[in-house]
Amino acid sequence: MLKPSATRSPLDASAEFRAAIRTWFEKEGRDYPWRRTREPYAVLVSEVMLQQTQIATVLGRGFYTRFLERFPEVTSLAAADDDSLLKAWEGLGYYRRARMLRETARAVIARHDGRFPTEPDALLALPGIGPYTAGALLSFAFEIPAPLVDGNVARVLSRLLDHSAPIDAGPTLKWLWDIAGQLLDPDHPRAYNSALMELGQTHCRPGVPDCLACPVAHFCQTRDPARLPVKAKRATIEAIDEHVIHSLHEGQILLSRQGKGRREGMWRLPVRDPALLADLPLLHRRKYGITRYRVTLHVHSCPPDHPAAQAGPDDAWVDLDEIATRVMPPADRAALAALDPDAEEIA
Ligand code: SF4
């Protein structure tokens, strides 16, 4: 259903627009733990966690609070070893983000004596800090006017201004940052940026938005919000199979430590060439997604004297009661939880 187009543009009536969205946010904004702090390190942790991970996941499973208890300040994070860092991040995925967060902490200590800089250029020069994170730190931690554009803000702005070019194309990205800068509230950047993001998480959600309850509907130029934002064609999802072994011997299980790459430092069930596993029964099967892949994980039962169970340089026999302390990708963890030495064959 088409909605009426508003007669006022947020660009022409920016003061009224800012006041409307801020008043709404002050009354109805959600109370997240990261909104109760102005500590830049805590703001940064929340922002990095929320990249690609839902708020409900970060909150519901206590990741944010637990991480800050484990690493309460830049110094403790900078000193973290790989195992404790990945363990604290386990379940959030995208483990490179955790390592990059540690790199940021180390650079803050090395370059700025452990205090986050408040100049945009100095922030942007830190590893792992892009324009979005710099805008979040400046506005949320320091109340310095700085625009930010994430997926929620991009959706809201493209609808408010009825902009139908693909939002993930270079010229539109530039346009979005320009508009975000023009509309920014110079006196209340923290509340304003939070409000814009919150609007995108609530009323102006993906798909069909709730325009009737929207606090800035009278500024919104689009008549057909559900078709916005337009996105460039997505990469196609590719289905792949992964064959791993479940090999037990005298209270131990064979695991494989991952080398360079997305899962560096994590422990997995050893991946083997399926040709080597032709004579082994299948114990378990599950699907999971990673980047643009839809993976089917096949877990084969493998006796310890089978050629596939020969430990390679990255493999190790690990005590079964130690598994909980090893950092593992969620799919491997879930497969192990579903299995025990008496599991029945399924094929
Ligand atoms: S919720 Fe509707 S009225 Fe409000 S900004 Fe989004 S599209 Fe416009």
Clarify whether 47 is annotated catalytic: yes
Q: Are residues 185 and 271 in the same domain?
A: no
Say if ligand 1 is within 6 A of residue 204 CB. Answer: yes
Q: Which of 164, 197, 227 is the last residue of a domain?
A: 227
Say if ligand 1 is within 6 A of residue 216 CB. Answer: yes
Identify the pLDDT of residue 341: 53
Which segments of the chain have a pLDDT < 50?
Answer: 343-347
Closest CA to 347 of 284, 290, 295: 284
Residue listed under structure tokens 């484990």: 70
222-245 as b/e, with b when 16 or more CB fall inside 10 Å?
Answer: beebeebbeeeeeeeeeeeebbbb
Report pTM: 0.82
What are the pLDDT digits (tens) for 13-69? Answer: 999 999 999 999 999 999 999 999 999 999 999 999 998 788 998 988 899 999 999
Q: Are residues 130 and 193 in the same domain?
A: yes
Residue 163 CA, ligand 1 centroid: distance in Å: 13
Residues 304, 248: contact at Cβ < 8 Å? Answer: yes
Q: Are residues 112 and 162 in the same domain?
A: yes
Closest CA to 161 of 346, 301, 11, 338: 11
What are the pLDDT digits (tens) for 279-313? Answer: 999 999 999 998 889 999 999 999 999 999 999 99
Q: Which of 227, 249, 275 is the last residue of a domain?
A: 227
Domain that holds residue 43: 14-227
Q: Are residues 289 and 197 in the same domain?
A: no
Q: Are residues 139 and 256 in the same domain?
A: no
In the chain, the number of structural domains is 2
Q: Whose CA is nearest to atom 7 of ligand 1?
A: 225
Tokens of 260: 């360079």
Identify the pLDDT of residue 322: 92
Q: Are residues 177 and 262 in the same domain?
A: no
Q: Would 47 be classed as within a structural domain?
A: yes
Residue of 26, 28, 47, 345 marked catalytic? 47
